[in-house]
Amino acid sequence: MGPVTAVSATVGSTATEDLSLRANSLMPGGVSSPVRSFAKVGLPPFYASRGEGPRIFDRDGRSFIDYILSWGPLALGHAHPGVVDAVTKAAREGLSFGTCTEREVDLAAVITGALPSVELVRFVSSGTEAVMSAVRVARAATGRDLIVKFDGGYHGHADAFLVSAGSGAATLALPDSPGVPAAATLTRVAPFNDLESVEALFAREGDNIACVVVEPVMGNAGLIRPLEGFLAGLRDICTRRGAVLVFDEVMTGFRVAWGGAQVAFSVRPDLTALGKVIGGGMPVAAYGGRAELMELVAPAGPVYQAGTLSGNPLGMAAGLAQLTELAKPGVQEEMAGSAARLADGLAGAAQSAGVAACTASIGSMWGLFFTEGPVRNFGDAKRSQTEMFARFHRACFARGVLLAPSPFEAGFVSSVHTDTDIAETLEAASEALEEACAA
């Protein structure tokens, strides 16, 4: 693979300018999701034309090493032949049926076989649906109303979760959202990695807390690992107080390990939300858990949840193809090695440039904060120098490296990011840090 293609960090191209103008006249902010706006790093939205392996190409044909990877789903990189072939075959047989298909049964078998806590699983189309539905089950099972989440944790855009959300909300200075009704007052917030604060919430209102919802590894406030004993402590609190423990593994599922964070940290939640990787790039998500809880879901039980495109045959085909590849010996370990080399290299580059920064990785996820470590929660993360990140992002972009346009997002590697890709990225990052410091 050749050297990184140098590109302009300004809106120099007619195609990008024209698309931005058209989009802004047709869609709010010109985007279909707030995280796709690059405004906070001083760039126009990125208009992708195609992807191939670890690289993504924009509307003007410029090539970038991609660490967004569709915000996590593309664990095998762009347009993996096995995934593309599986989806193509499925499409020829029919795009949607509104009935059951064999592929959803097969994918359910893979998921329940990989996640020790999941005995039954229900497919949906988005991570928001998955977490929202898991909470509904938890409330039905306990007869309680309150939920506990963690500051900076993002669990989709359902009303109950848009309280102290991270990622896009923090990047756009929108910690909460207008239009969210009083239902959000049923949400309680604690700092991540702080068991004492969770104990205090249960001491005050434990008889009405239905569940604790947590990203076992935070990825929407930047990458923040759980401290030793934190997840096990949540498990203990929920067990003692009769609450349901919900792991939001939409991002971490099959990324931090085969079977997700619950395997990596040996902690079994009661319910799990999945997404991203299990769909191979298609809009697929799921929630699952202990049989006694999942049997509350209609038609087995009284908790209603439905979706016209749930279990869509194209999504099931893509998910099966991707998970089949990820299950092969050594694949997870190789991705973890790439993420670790990238994170360690970025830390070294920052140190050489005299820039305050800390990095972390777990599985195929990695993160970078422009602040002295450690970063243990969203409060620590918010100390990051956001202007430094914006300058660094633009300088990386100019050197053909595409990062998420937010200092509060995890990055990802794929199975097809090579040692050469990592080395080229670190070379570009070293130059970008020098440029960002000089600006």
Q: Would you please indicate which residues are annotated as catalytic (active-site) residues?
A: 154, 248, 276
pLDDT tens for 155-171 read 988 777 766 555 444 43
Asked if the model's pLDDT at residue 344 lies above 70, the reply is yes
Q: What angle do CA 120, 123, 127 make, to 5 degrees?
A: 115
Stated pTM of the model: 0.92
pLDDT for 143 equals 98
Average pLDDT (388-407) is 97
* CA-wise closest residue to 403 among 171, 179, 184: 171
Least confidently predicted of 37-41, 79-83, 158-162, 247-251: 158-162
At 16, is the pLDDT very low, low, confident or very high (cuts 50, 70, 90)? confident
Cα–Cα distance, 220 to 408 (Å, whole number): 6
Average pLDDT (78-93) is 98
pLDDT for 157 equals 82
**177 or 204: which carries more pLDDT confidence?**
204
Percent of residues, the chain, with pLDDT higher than 70 = 92
pLDDT for 144 equals 97
Sequence-separated (6 or more) residues with CB below 8 Å from residue 103: 90, 313, 316, 317, 320
pLDDT tens for 247-305 read 999 999 999 999 999 999 999 999 999 999 999 999 999 999 999 999 999 999 999 99
At 76, is the pLDDT very low, low, confident or very high (cuts 50, 70, 90)? very high
Token output for 204: 């005050």
Token output for 149: 């989440």
Average pLDDT (22-47) is 92
pLDDT for 184 equals 56
Cα–Cα distance, 398 to 268 (Å, whole number): 44
DSSP state of 146: E
Asked if the bond preceding 54 is cis, omega within 30° of 0, the reply is no
Sequence-separated (6 or more) residues with CB below 8 Å from residue 324: 82
Average pLDDT (31-55) is 93
Q: What mean pLDDT value characterizes the chain?
A: 92
Token output for 288: 């699952």
Token output for 276: 């991203």
At 176, is the pLDDT very low, low, confident or very high (cuts 50, 70, 90)? low
List, in order of start, the domains of the chain with CATH numbers.
14-79+330-438 (3.90.1150.10), 81-326 (3.40.640.10)
Cα–Cα distance, 231 to 262 (Å, whole number): 9
At 5, is the pLDDT very low, low, confident or very high (cuts 50, 70, 90)? very low
DSSP state of 377: S
